[in-house]
Chain A
Amino acid sequence: METVFTPWTSLGGGVLIGVAATLLMLFLGRVMGATGILAGVVSPSSKQDFSWRAAVLAGMVSGPVLIFFLTGQMPEVQVPVSTGMLLVGGLIVGVGVTLGSGCTSGHGVCGMARLSPRSFVATMTFMIVTLVTVYIVRHVLGAA
């Protein structure tokens, strides 16, 4: 499935992600990691940690709804893989981000911005493995 190259909206979206990460550090002193935020909501360690994470999560989910109200269109979600791949992939992602303590937002944006060597290693690892996985799935196995 071909997709259109969108440098400007992608750059703009990226800047907003960075603004959100900066504001979360400025106001609450926390890292903007989607993994930590989701884990803190579904498996909370304390009530205090649950409330702000649930609020951030609610805000995230409201993002596409706000775009719908402003533009009359939902953001595009094109799923080129089977339901089985979504479920298996989701399960594997959940295990990986928990063991690796973070994902694209936590390690890839916040950790890299703090020049954390740990996040640099994590980000390089998952970027390379994802590249290889997509190559194998699409060009060796011929799926999706």
Chain B
Amino acid sequence: MRIITAYLIGLVFGVGIAISGMANPAKVLNFFDVAGSWDPSLMFVMGGALITTFIGYKLVFGRSAPIIEGSFQLPTNNKIDLKLVGGSAIFGIGWGIAGFCPGGALPALGTGRWEVFAFALALIAGIFLAKFLQTLGSRTSQTS
């Protein structure tokens, strides 16, 4: 039940990403290219997703718990620190170079295009690299 529900929700997300244009790097990069071949479509993606989620969450949080799990698991970290801002800035550099973000690339894997797999492999390597750097960092701060 849990797995089938999760699969179907992923499917809705994947269809949404695919028809929105987020899975298409040319469209994503053109959204940011206001000085060149600007395509404002992604504003409608962000707007539609944000308004729908805002209203949806309002309704969902009226419940005391989710339907399948025992409780809501929301991020508890509320620190606005260098790691958040620096990490987000690094993400922006990569997004501007490649044109794929994780949410756009994962559904795009379904098109079978090799370029998406190349990006995804580099993305996974980056995740492991950051996790490795974080353990190094925490080890250094523990010993010093």
Contact = CB atoms under 8 A, between A and B. Distances in A.
Interface of A: 1-32, 34-35, 37-39, 42-43, 51-53, 55-67, 74-81, 83, 85-101, 103-105, 107-114, 116-118, 121-123, 125-139, 144
The number of chain B residues touching the other chain, given as a range, is 35 or more
Nearest to A119: B75
Closest 10 CB pairs of A and B: A94-B126, A63-B14, A59-B10, A13-B20, A89-B98, A18-B52, A14-B48, A133-B96, A100-B87, A22-B56
A71 B74 CA distance: 37
Given A18-B56, A81-B99, A90-B118, A98 B127 contact: yes
Contacts of A29: 65-66, 68-69, 71-73
Contacts of A4: 39
Contacts of A129: 88-89, 91-93, 96
B122 A10 contact: no
Label chain A's interface by main secondary structure.
helix
Given A10-B42, A14-B16, A89-B97, A109 B49 contact: yes
B12 A19 contact: yes
A63 to B, nearest CB: 2
A13 B5 CA distance: 20
